[in-house]
Amino acid sequence: MPVSAASTNSNELDWIARAQQGDGQAFGELVEKHRPGVLNVVYRMCGDPQLAEEAAQEAFLRAWQNLRRYNPKFAFRNWVYRIALNLAIDRLRRRTETVAIDTLREILTVETDGPEATLERHEQAEQVRQAVLDLPPTSRAALILREYEGLTYQEIADALDIPIGTVMSRLNYARGQLRESLRRSWEAT
C-alpha cells in the first residue's frame, strides 16, 4: 500500500507537474532538492564517490525519461531512491572492486583532535563503512534508507518494492551482521 507523499510538498508537486510537461527548469529544482539524498544513498551503497556521482546523474536522467509514469501516490523522493538504488546495485554487480580505500583521506577534511585520535576515528569510520559495504546489496539498501535517510518501514517497502515484513527481516539481518562484523574488527584492534 503506498503511503501518502509526506515529503512531497506543494512546491514539489508543482515542479513535478511542470516537469511532466517537459519543463526542464522545474526538473532542475527537483534535482537540486533531492541531489544530496540520492548521492548519499548511492555512495553508501557502493562506497565510491565517483561511481556515486555518475549513478546519481544517471538516476535523475532516468527519472526524467520516465516522469510520465511516476505515480504521485508515492513520494517522489522514494521513487528516485528506488531508481538510484537499482542503478547502484546494477553497477555493483558489474564491478568486481567496489571500494576505493584511498577516498578516506578526502572524507574528513577538518581535523580538530590530535593525530592519534584522528587516526583512530578514521579507522573506526573505515571499519563501519567496510562492514556496511560487506552486507548483501538488498539488506544494505534497507539499512541505508533506514539509518541514513530516516525512511519509515512503509517508505522503504515502497522504495524497494518489497513487503514490510521483508523490510523488517532485512533490517534485522543487516544489523545482526554489522554487529558481528564490527565486534570482530574492534576485538582485533
Partner 1 sequence: MSQHVTDWLAAYHDGELHGARLFQVETHLLECPTCQSELEALKALSTALQKNPVMPARTPPARFVAQVRLRTRPPSPPTLLWRVWLFVPLSVLGIGAFLQAALMVSSLVLIALRLFGDGDALAPQFGLFPAFPILGAAQLFVLDGVLTVGLATLLWGWLAGWWAARSRQNRLAGETSG
Interacting residue ranges for partner 1, rule: CB under 8 A: 22, 24, 27-28, 31-32, 35, 39-40, 43-44, 49-50, 52-53, 56-57, 59-62, 64-69, 82-87, 89, 103, 106-109, 121, 124-125, 128-129, 132, 137-138, 141, 143, 146-148, 152-153, 160-162, 168, 171-172, 175, 178-179, 182
Comparison of 5 and 84: residue with beta carbon closer to partner 1: 84
How near is the Cβ of 80 to partner 1 at its closest, in Å?
9
How near is the Cβ of 157 to partner 1 at its closest, in Å?
11
How near is the Cβ of 9 to partner 1 at its closest, in Å?
19
Comparison of 5 and 41: residue with beta carbon closer to partner 1: 41
Phi, then psi, of 161 in degrees rounded to 5: 60, 50
Q: How far is CA 72 from the centre of its chain?
A: 21
Computed from CA positions of residues 40, 180, 163, 136, in that sequence, does the dihedral angle turn out positive or negative?
A: positive
Region label for 22, one of left (φ > 0), alpha (ψ between -120 and 50) or beta (otherwise): left
User: What 3-state class would DSSP assign to 135?
Assistant: coil
Q: What are the b/e assignments for 99-130, b being 16+ CB within 10 Å?
A: eeeeeeeeeeeeeeeeeeeeeeeeeeeebebe
How near is the Cβ of 155 to partner 1 at its closest, in Å?
11
How near is the Cβ of 68 to partner 1 at its closest, in Å?
7
Which amino acid would we find at residue 104? L
- Are 160 and 141 contacting, i.e. CB atoms less than 8 angstroms apart? yes
Comparison of 108 and 117: residue with beta carbon closer to partner 1: 108
Comparison of 5 and 51: residue with beta carbon closer to partner 1: 51
